[in-house]
Structure 1
Amino acid sequence: MAKQYPQDESLLSLRPFDLTTDVDDLMVWVSDNQVAHFCSWDTYTSKEQAIEYVHNFVLQHPYHRVICLNNRAIGAISVTCNAGNDKCRGELGYVLASQYWGRGIATWAVKAVGSAIFEERPELERLEALVDVENVGSQRVLEKGGFLKEGVLRKYCIQKGRTRDMVMFSLLSTDASTPSVPI
């Protein structure tokens, strides 16, 4: 039987990244080859690289949160909103330190963002997530989080030097199954 989130869900939270307290925690997952395997980025080898990433991306991003257990950052989740004629869509991305895999924490975070993002960003009608066809664990997270598997996009992108097939998932603002999770 798979482990579920901690006995007390109140130990889980989402919050903005804090450069003064979260960098060492961030290094745990950005330096882990297992975590980076299906990500677009390569593992980070120095704290300076991580700080540069935080300055150039995380702190500039309009919706980027750390996933916390006991207020300690163990992963991250973001929604990148489109503009112009595509402003009705946003793309979900998430990452979790490997020692927390299989406990339902990523699913909790996906549900939390899925239940909050449409209120916070009323222009959004669709939340998408693209997952490598070989990343079965992440596909399960999205399905448990209420996302619908739409299909496989063959030879969709080049990632880490290889052309990859990706699975498209979506959650709509009108989906009755949009789960409600307190954050």
Structure 2
Amino acid sequence: MEHVHETMPMHDHGGHGGHGDDCDSPCADMGHSHAMVFHANVCQEILFSGWLTTTALQLFGSCVAIFVGGVLYEALKYYREVLHIRATTVTADSRVNIAKNECGSTGNCNGPTVVKYSIWSCGHAVQTALHVVQATASYVLMLVFMTYNVYLCLALVAGLGLGYFIFGWRKTSLNDANEHCQ
């Protein structure tokens, strides 16, 4: 019995091997197959075809950018929580006004006063915009990790770790309802 092995053709991006007209690139013979295992290749396409590393210095610069992105992602999560706490914390002056409106003219009511956003409030609009930014950043960082490049993955995890170290100790809860990729 004879076995025939067929190989899948590499994706040809416009007849240029996927790297534009840069045929002298050290990555020119690499093709554009995306590894589904962890690897340590210097030649790495990151997120889109314009972000291609061909040298160790370019890969290092990309790692630094991704590290900073991880720190900023954790900062954004913390900032959203701070904004929410500020918007829903009742000050002494506002407690008197809320108590008069909700508990009668005496201002006596039992239990905590809860202040919520209204759907048309400025605070809710800001939180919505920040939620969109956070969701987008979360998925972009997930796609970076899915390159399976060990250096990029380590840079991302280190950035998220440092970001949590800097901002996480201030959090009021360990339950992170704002996390998108869990």
Asked if these proteins are the same fold (TM beyond 0.5), I'd say no
Structure scoring higher RCO (CA < 8 A, sep ≥ 6) equals 2
Q: In terms of Rg, which structure is larger? A: 2
TM-score (norm 1): 0.24
TM (norm. structure 2) is 0.24
Is the strand fraction higher in 1 or 2?
Answer: 1
Structure (1 or 2) with the greater helix fraction: 2
